[in-house]
A and B are shown apart, each in its own frame.
Chain A
């Protein structure tokens, strides 16, 4: 009886420690999924964004845009200021289909998909960085560090993913699972960009309030300030059409 009890105890101990290890490796994927959930659980979203470009001398220039997005792959981005750029709009659709509308020409044009590593509208964000796809669908995570407040994940692109980055190192808030910072590394292993996030709770969701993206090589930065956020107002797919783009 005693031996049985002991063996149960031993067994339980083994299982317990085994479970801890198991939980740990599963945790990483779970953490990333939780991040995805924080980032992309809203069905749709409308907001204004102020884009501030900061050059190496510290001088700033400002642009503003209205954004609507639905799910992970529909987004309409329309510039409202400065006046010279007002009306220029981007439409992203599933399967990497992208359109730009040029008001001065009154015409839209489709943009090829393999420009994803190009900068978006002169900012330090690439089309790739602007993408709203689930992180867990693009990257294999690895927990490399943690402290009282954050997890540090190394995100390695899944095989076959077309990206300029060899990895991202992302710090994630332990309590609420929103990203705090992200470091981007090129294929030579050099850190090329650095993002700092500020999140706030808007209704049921965590929402990015400000993202600062620094291009380390160019000594140039872009600040995106998000405001007037409205979630889940039931935007229809019809809002994301070329016809709407041209309005």
Chain B
């Protein structure tokens, strides 16, 4: 280590130049940084259900269904219908829009004594304007399953204008354009925007607003905490500088490798600011403590001592993040884990190479005298009011701490079994967010907005396949959560009806082909059948985001598919409920697997470091107790496990273990020096305790800023990480010393 620290000081200018060069290079990459709010793109390609869902988007334009919802007291009024047409036309004449379906632009198959009409429900050249025409339109809408509750709500107060986007367009740009154009129409009715493309646009706005608002706050907050801790400019600038550089490198690298910012990875900067600055704090702290007169030598000595613990602290944190790579369902979580780990590594690299190089190059040493003075002043507050009383209680009543922790565990453990899970995208928005409001209305008036698809592979024009489609629809509609379904079979039945043969699938293929001929080229066909007629889908919506209902639906459909899927007509089911069910079960799986991986890795690392399995276990006790209490807290307060909060436990483990490591290393060191457990512990608590409190304060404060995030999971994430930092810090200062006292007493007892 001495050699390394010598080397660092020798090569300071090279290090500084390389860091500046790399920072310039990665900053330049940032110009191409993109935000990806599309949760669908994060579905894993190795899951057939997810892959099928993605493919439906490409083959049927299904996933990109956007919606404009118009709400008023009565839809069937002349002006309202005209406004619907205005919106419809606005959408239709916007570049990048593929199809538009609305009250004024939807297929209508009518039969009459004189013939058939495959046209539009409303003739755009002869809009209904008399009360009679409006009444007859209303009657028609409410008499047909295809319109009632899917285009016009059953209470007649809202209507949907649905659109799909062309493949390959910039969906977010288009979503913005649509919002602007329709808002500019300045219609008197209430207008809401919904569906995934619009939701994505909203998420992306929120991501940007989070980044823009929160990062400066975190920055200032950490700067403030650093200032009151170090009371020097250097103590504020260096940690923030290294953290900021590591953020630039990480985001630059992500961009360079073609990754985009997601609703999870947008917290990378905040994490790196909070966690990354800690390594520099340790390095600086050590340099400050070294009272050697020759400051250059002091730097070298301090560096040689600090490199190992800092590397260890970083490695355990990296383990916490890397643990998500295994078991996470969404690729965006895996990417987040990898890049945060890389970022932590960058922060580590900078704190042990760049910081000493800077200090030595620009002679930013503090004089030993000033150090002493400062040190004394600082000691007084934390030491007298917190650490000394704490130490006294611990020594007098070691069992108190133990009892307190046991009580806390007992109180919260019941909560662990009450933890809820949330995978519904709509829950990610605050209650008053427009997207959330639209979702609620969709749920209430249009049977939800979670798309469900059943795919049929076979000769779609054969009577057998069409009949199977129809049977599947009838079966689906008996399952709670499914209100109505739509497929090509419905259209063929209607056509058969207007040809005077009754509402059924004809028994002869020839008839079906004849009927098909008239439907060919209708907009709706492209959403229901592939061009080469070997695939068709049932479109439906699921009304609830309730995990149990979705799981029941999944199971019911699975049974149906196994019983009815044949060589001639292969059936597959996908859709958001299927994705959510997988996401839901993956939450638990990935929580368990990432936690186990993290615990084992940390045990191994800490065990190796302390050269003792027992000490390794002692070190993890405070953090594991904290995690149990954390889960209990989540259960009791109703904070659900979701794509963000699922990350907390492993991150808390990775960061929180550092406090225990500091306590145990210091304790060992002190014990070796003077041999007395109590004295060693006293020194440990008084010196390392201070560093831990400062560190807890800065990391927790950094994460608490996420409470101001626009996304609910991130708010919860911030709160939970902050709490677990406080918990593990407190654990390291109370529980761990008691364990050490008791363990050493026992050893003494055995020895004697």
Query: Among A36-44, A111-119, A135-143, A196-204, which stretch is in contact with chain B?
Result: A111-119
As a 0/1 sequence over residues 93 to 115 of chain A, the CB contacts with chain B under 8 angstroms (1 = contact) are 00000011011110101111011
CB within 8 Å of A: which of B507-538? 508-511, 513-515, 517-518, 520-522, 531-532
Q: Which residues of B contact A112 (CB under 8 A)?
A: 110, 115-119
B123 at interface (Cβ–Cβ under 8 A)? yes
CB within 8 Å of A: which of B93-139? 93-95, 98, 110, 114-120, 123, 125-126
Q: Which residue of A lies closest to B508 (CB)?
A: A104
- 30 residue pairs of the A-B complex, CB under 8 angstroms, read A59-B532, A84-B510, A84-B513, A88-B517, A100-B518, A102-B514, A102-B517, A104-B506, A104-B508, A104-B511, A105-B501, A105-B514, A107-B500, A109-B499, A110-B115, A111-B115, A112-B115, A112-B117, A112-B118, A114-B123, A115-B117, A118-B119, A119-B522, A120-B521, A186-B93, A187-B89, A187-B93, A188-B89, A188-B92, A188-B93
| Chain A interface residue bracket vs B | 20 to 34
A150 at interface (Cβ–Cβ under 8 A)? no
A120 to B126: give the CA distance in the assembly, Å. 22
B166 at interface (Cβ–Cβ under 8 A)? yes
A104 to B508: give the CA distance in the assembly, Å. 8
As a 0/1 sequence over residues 186 to 220 of chain A, the CB contacts with chain B under 8 angstroms (1 = contact) are 11111000000000000000000000000001100
Interface residue SS majority, chain A: loop
A55 at interface (Cβ–Cβ under 8 A)? yes
* Chain A: minimal CB distance from B182 (Å): 14
| Chain B interface residue bracket vs A | 35 or more
Residue contact A114 to B93, C-beta cutoff 8 Å: no
A146 to B598: give the CA distance in the assembly, Å. 76
Residue contact A114 to B508, C-beta cutoff 8 Å: no
A112 to B89: give the CA distance in the assembly, Å. 23
Q: Which 5 A-B pairs have the closest CB atoms?
A: A188-B93, A110-B115, A119-B521, A122-B520, A112-B117
Known: A110-B116, A112-B119. A104 touches B510 (CB 8 A): yes
Most interface-central of B116, B508, B531 (chain A CB within 10 A): B531
Residue contact B520 to A119, C-beta cutoff 8 Å: yes
CB within 8 Å of A: which of B541-573? none
A1 at interface (Cβ–Cβ under 8 A)? no
Q: Which residue of B lies closest to A53 (CB)?
A: B531
A107 to B496: give the CA distance in the assembly, Å. 12
B498 at interface (Cβ–Cβ under 8 A)? yes
A158 at interface (Cβ–Cβ under 8 A)? no
A107 to B509: give the CA distance in the assembly, Å. 16
Residue contact B513 to A85, C-beta cutoff 8 Å: yes
Q: Which residues of B contact A162 (CB under 8 A)?
A: 125
Known: A85-B514, A88-B517. 17 other contacts (CB 8 A): A84-B510, A103-B510, A104-B511, A104-B514, A105-B501, A109-B499, A110-B114, A110-B116, A111-B115, A112-B110, A112-B115, A112-B116, A118-B522, A120-B521, A122-B520, A123-B521, A188-B93
* Chain A: minimal CB distance from B93 (Å): 2
Contact among A59, A107, A189, A217 for B166, CB-based, below 8 A: A217
Contact among B93, B125, B166, B521 for A121, CB-based, below 8 A: B521
Q: Which residues of B contact A107 (CB under 8 A)?
A: 499-500
